[in-house]
């Protein structure tokens, strides 16, 4: 029996697509605009737990390197966890983000062929105006800003999608997006980004 888990918060994701990521609407069936697809994401956990382990207030991050079409799998991935997380929280978040406890992230257990492991590090996830500032010490330096819509004060949002991360995606661009680590050195500034409210779990 899988451990009961929930995770509510927000994800800010930066990828290498030159225009908005086609995976959101194609559900991973359309090729990325640039190949291979490389991406990192920051996660702010506002409320969450796995079993009796509290996750609220923690931050996490992901690195994903995809050889081509998302739905075909064979991803390479790594996980970053807040340095403030307990040993039990790190183990719980690892089980969640590798899909081993089912629910929303179960797809990752199928799509990720190479998991490079978990690193604990100081992680910052801040909102400055509409911009999300994400930093993972020694790995990520990012600033992601929503694309403004036609109506003043409203951003472009894709609503009611079947995207696994969440149904409503704020279309964004990376003002700054550097990733260094695991033999990779990416600069994705000016490329596609997303901001998504998370309401994940396995119930």
Residue 1 has pLDDT above 50, yes or no: no
Query: Across the chain, what does the average pLDDT equal?
Result: 91
- Per DSSP, the residues of the chain read -PPPEEEEEEEEEEES-SSS-THHHHTT-SPPSSSSEEEEEEEEEEEEEETTEE-TT-EEEEEEEESS-GGG--EEEEEEEETT--HHHHHHHHHHHTTTT-GGGHHHHHHEEEEEEEEEE-EEEEEETTEEEEEETTTEEEEEEEPB-SSTT-B-EE-S---SS-S-EEEEEEEEEEEEETTEEEE-TTSEEEEEEEEEE--
- Are β-strands 123-128 and 53-54 bridged in parallel, bridged antiparallel, or unpaired? unpaired
**pLDDT tens for each residue of 121-142:** 999 999 999 999 999 999 999 9
Domain assignment of residue 164, given as a range? 5-201
Per this entry, what is the length of the chain? 203
Percent of the chain clearing pLDDT 90 (strictly above) = 77
**pLDDT tens for each residue of 13-52:** 999 988 766 566 555 455 555 567 899 999 999 999 999 9
The structural domain count of the chain equals 1
**Confidence at residue 100, expressed as pLDDT on a 0 to 100 scale:** 94
């Amino acid at each position: 029996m899988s451990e009961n888990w929930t995770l509510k918060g927000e994800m800010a994701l930066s990828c290498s697509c030159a225009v908005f990521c086609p995976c959101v609407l194609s559900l991973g069936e359309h090729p990325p605009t640039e190949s291979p697809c490389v991406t990192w994401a920051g996660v702010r956990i506002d409320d969450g737990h796995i079993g009796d382990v509290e996750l609220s207030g923690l931050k996490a991050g992901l690195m994903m390197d995809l050889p081509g079409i998302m739905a075909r799998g064979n991803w390479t991935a790594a996980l970053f966890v807040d340095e403030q997380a307990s040993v039990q929280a790190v183990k719980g978040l690892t089980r969640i983000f590798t899909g081993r406890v089912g629910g929303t992230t179960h797809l990752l257990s199928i799509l990720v062929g190479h998991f490079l492991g978990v690193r604990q590090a100081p992680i910052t996830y801040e909102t400055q105006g509409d911009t999300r500032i994400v930093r993972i010490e020694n790995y990520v330096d990012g600033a992601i800003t929503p694309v403004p819509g036609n109506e003043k004060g409203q951003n472009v949002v894709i609503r009611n999608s079947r995207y696994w991360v969440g149904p409503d995606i704020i279309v964004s661009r990376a003002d700054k997006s550097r990733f260094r680590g695991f033999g990779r050195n990416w600069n994705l500034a000016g490329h596609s980004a997303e901001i998504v409210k998370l309401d994940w779990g396995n119930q």
